Amino acid sequence: MDNKRYLKSLHLRELQYLAGALKVEGRKRMGYKELVTVLKEFENIQDLPRNQSHTYTVGLLDYWDRSLQGTIENPTHTHELTNKACDDWVKIEAVITNNVFTDIQFVVGGCCLSECCAAIIVEEMRGKSLEYLANYTNEDFRKRTQVKVFSYREACVTLGLDCLRLFNEEA
């Protein structure tokens, strides 16, 4: 993965952490885009120590691909949910037949975590029943994604799952 894409997968606090490790002048006054612009010029930036309480695994970033997103022409069910803290949103459309997700698609507007985790949970639920979803816990999802997050990013990670849970509420 190139430096720019890698850096864009990080949250502002992580960029500030990297800038601190590299002793970048004026980093405390820089915004997100400025930090990405400055940091992408450093070689081997992906090898630098990261804030260990927040990890994007390579497997997680495999889902950071907008081609995984899409819509269904005639969904039987649609739900949309917004993270009030940062305005990330996810819309999930599904065809549910005999309480089974026979087709399911999503569209996300948000950060890398929201996009990747929505893609993972939609893939996980494809062909599964509403009962399976009802018994699927945040811990199950955390094991599946293998991501550790700051508490303030928890809503980014679970946005897709929380949206899917709305399907059970209407059933």
Q: CB-side exposure of 11: number of CA atoms within 13 Å? A: 17
Distances (CA, A) of 28 to 8, 24, 35, 46, 53: 18, 9, 10, 21, 21
Query: What's the predicted TM-score (pTM) here?
Result: 0.67
Top pLDDT among 16 and 129 is at 129
Sign of the dihedral through C-alpha 88, 61, 100, 93: positive
Residues 33 and 110 in one domain: no
Q: Are residues 46 and 79 in the same domain?
A: no
Share of the chain above pLDDT 90, in %: 35
Over residues 8-16, mean pLDDT: 69
Per the structure, the complete domain to which residue 39 belongs is given by: 3-51
37 lies in the same domain as 74: no
pLDDT band at 143 (very low <50, low <70, confident <90, very high): confident
- In this prediction, residue 142 carries a pLDDT of 81
